[in-house]
C-alpha cells in the first residue's frame, strides 16, 4: 500500500480536472482567432476564467492566468506601482527572491514562535514611501494562517498595497477577495487538485501591473502568449471545489505522541501538520517513511534533491537540532482513514526503531 501525504507540494489530479482537460484537448482553435474554432477556444477560456473568478468572489477581468504561483508572485512583486516592498520572514521563496530581484528596498516582518507575523513590527515598517505588503494567507510548511484583516487595516492607514500568496488556501479554507480587501492575490491549480503549470493572479480593478512577458494582447495585455487552454480548463473545473480533512488531520496528530507540532496553538490549514521528533534527521525520516510506503516531505525546502535548512522554522526561532528533523504531512481531497492508519503505523515503527538504537 502507498499513501500519498504530500498535497502541499502537489495534489493528486481531481477527476473533474482530468475530464475538463480531455474536453479541451479536442478544441483546435487559438482563443485569439476570430474563426469558429477560435471562438470555441475563446468560449472555453472565458468559462474557466469565470469559474476561477467565481471561486474567489471577483469579476472575470480581474483574473490573469499565469504559468503558476511563482510567476504570479514575480509579476506582482516586480510590477506593482510602489517604491518599496515589505514581506514576512516566512514567505515562499518566490516572494522573497522576487522582492530582492525587484531592485526596490525590502523590509522584513518578523514572526513569533508560532510563525504569526508581528503586527507591531509591520506598523513600524509601514512608515515611509508607498509600499507593497506581501503576506501569505497560510504557510506552505506549517499551515499557519496569517491575520490578513489586520495586515490590510494597517496597510490602508499608510496608503500601502497588499498582496497575499493564497496558493495553499484555495480549496481548503473559504477564500474571498472582496472580504480580504487585498489588492493582489496569487492562486495555483496543482495545490487544489488541478494540473501543474497553471496559476493566476487576481488584481484589484484599476491597479496597473507591469507585465513580465511582452508580446501579444492576451490576458488584457497583462501577460503575452497564447493561453494554455488545456490546463486552464482543468484549473477552472477545480477552482470552486472544497475539501475538509480536519478530522483526519486531528486523528493523525493524536498519534504523534512525543513529537513537537509547529504552530499547533494557532489557526492552521485543516490539512497540514509539520512536526519534529528530537534526535531524528529529516533525511532519514523521509527515506524511512518512503520505505514504509508513505510519501511525505521535509519541513524545509528542497533544492536539487537535497534537504536544506528551513527559513520558516528559523524565523520562528526553532532550534537547529529540532528544525533539521522537521517533517511535513499534508492531506488532500482523496486522503482516507486507511492512509492515516498507514501513516500512524509507519511512524510508530520508525520512532520505536530510533528509540531502540538510541538506547543501545
The CATH fold of domain 15-238? 3.40.640
pLDDT of 302: 47
120-178 pLDDT per residue, tens: 999 999 999 999 999 999 999 999 999 999 999 999 999 999 999 999 999 999 999 99
Cα–Cα distance measured from residue 316 to residue 334, given in angstroms and rounded to the nearest whole number: 31
Would you place residue 359 in the very low, low, confident or very high pLDDT band (cuts 50, 70, 90)?
Answer: confident
pTM comes to 0.95
> What is the reported pLDDT for 355?
82
Q: What is the pLDDT, as a whole number, of residue 18? A: 98
Provide DSSP, 195-222: -TT-EEEEE-TT-----SS-SS-HHHHT
Active-site residue, from 302, 309, 345, 348:
302
Residue 273 parent element (H or E): strand 272-276
What mean pLDDT value characterizes the chain? 95
Sign of the C-alpha dihedral computed for residues 253, 258, 260 and 263 taken in this order? positive
Q: What is the pLDDT of residue 306?
A: 53
Above 60 in pLDDT, residue 305? no
Look at the alpha carbons of 138, 141, 144, 150 in this order and tell me if their dihedral is positive or negative.
negative
pLDDT at 304: 41
Confidence of residue 205 (pLDDT cuts 50, 70, 90): very high
Decide if 302 is catalytic: yes
Domain ranges of the chain: 3-11+243-359, 15-238
pLDDT at 354: 82
CATH 3.90.1150.10 fits 3-11+243-359, yes or no: yes
pLDDT at 51 over 90: yes
Looking at 40-44, 47-51, 258-262, 308-312, which range is the least confident one? Answer: 308-312
Please give the share of the chain, as a percent, with pLDDT higher than 70: 97
Mean pLDDT of 98-107: 98
Q: Which residues pair with 306 in a beta bridge?
A: 303
Residue ranges of alpha helices (H) inside the chain are 15-25, 36-55, 69-79, 93-101, 119-125, 148-156, 177-180, 218-221, 229-238, 246-254, 282-291, 311-315, 320-323, 337-359
Return d(Cα 346, Cα 332) in angstroms, integer: 19
Tell me what pLDDT residue 301 has. 47
pLDDT digits (tens, 9 = 90+) for 176-195: 999 999 999 999 999 999 99
pLDDT in tens, 287-296: 999 999 999 9
58 pLDDT more than 90: yes
Predicted confidence at residue 214, as pLDDT, reads: 94
For residue 303, pLDDT beyond 60: no
Task: Give the model's confidence band at 299: pLDDT under 50 very low, under 70 low, under 90 confident, else very high.
Answer: low
List the end-to-end C-alpha distance of the chain, in Å, as a whole number. Answer: 31
Q: Report the distance separating Cα 17 and Cα 298, nearest Å.
A: 28
Kindly report, residue by residue over 9-47, the tens digit of the pLDDT. Answer: 999 999 999 999 999 999 998 999 999 999 999 999 999
On the question of pLDDT at 312 being above 70, the answer is yes
Amino acid at each position: 500500500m502507498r499513501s500519498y501525504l504530500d498535497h502541499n507540494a502537489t495534489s493528486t489530479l481531481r477527476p473533474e480536472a482530468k475530464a475538463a482537460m480531455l474536453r479541451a484537448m479536442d478544441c483546435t482553435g487559438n482563443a485569439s482567432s476570430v474563426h469558429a474554432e477560435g471562438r470555441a477556444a475563446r468560449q472555453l477560456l472565458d468559462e474557466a476564467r469565470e469559474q476561477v473568478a467565481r471561486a474567489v468572489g471577483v469579476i472575470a477581468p480581474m483574473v490573469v492566468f499565469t504559468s503558476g504561483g511563482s510567476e504570479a508572485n514575480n509579476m506582482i512583486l516586480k510590477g506593482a506601482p510602489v517604491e518599496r516592498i515589505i514581506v514576512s520572514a516566512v514567505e515562499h521563496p518566490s516572494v522573497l527572491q522576487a522582492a530582492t530581484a525587484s531592485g526596490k528596498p525590502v523590509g522584513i516582518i518578523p514572526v513569533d514562535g508560532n510563525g504569526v507575523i508581528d503586527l507591531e513590527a509591520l506598523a513600524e515598517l509601514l512608515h515611509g514611501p508607498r509600499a507593497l505588503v506581501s503576506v501569505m494567507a497560510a504557510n506552505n510548511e506549517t499551515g499557519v494562517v496569517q491575520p490578513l484583516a489586520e495586515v490590510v487595516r494597517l496597510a490602508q492607514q499608510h496608503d500601502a498595497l497588499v498582496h497575499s500568496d493564497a496558493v495553499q488556501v484555495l480549496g481548503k479554507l473559504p477564500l474571498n477577495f472582496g472580504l480580504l480587501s487585498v489588492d493582489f492575490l496569487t492562486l495555483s491549480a496543482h495545490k487544489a487538485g488541478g494540473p501543474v503549470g497553471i496559476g493566476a493572479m487576481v488584481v484589484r480593478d484599476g491597479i496597473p501591473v507591469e507585465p513580465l512577458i511582452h508580446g501579444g494582447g492576451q490576458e488584457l495585455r497583462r501577460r503575452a502568449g497564447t493561453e494554455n487552454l488545456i490546463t486552464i480548463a482543468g484549473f477552472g473545473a477545480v477552482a470552486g471545489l472544497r475539501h475538509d480533512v480536519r478530522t483526519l488531520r486531528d486523528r493523525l496528530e493524536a498519534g504523534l505522541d512525543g513529537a513537537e507540532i509547529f504552530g499547533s496553538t494557532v489557526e492552521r490549514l485543516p490539512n497540514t501538520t509539520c512536526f519534529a521528533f528530537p534526535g531524528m534527521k529529516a533525511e532519514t525520516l523521509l527515506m524511512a517513511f518512503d520505505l514504509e510506503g508513505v510519501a511525505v516531505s521535509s519541513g524545509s525546502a528542497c533544492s536539487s534533491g537535497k534537504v536544506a535548512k528551513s527559513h520558516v522554522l528559523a524565523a520562528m526561532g526553532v532550534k537547529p537540532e529540532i528544525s533539521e528533523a522537521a517533517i511535513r504531512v499534508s492531506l488532500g481531497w482523496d486522503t482516507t482513514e486507511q492512509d492515516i492508519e498507514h501513516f500512524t503505523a509507519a511512524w510508530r515503527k520508525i520512532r520505536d526503531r530510533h528509540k531502540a538504537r538510541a538506547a543501545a
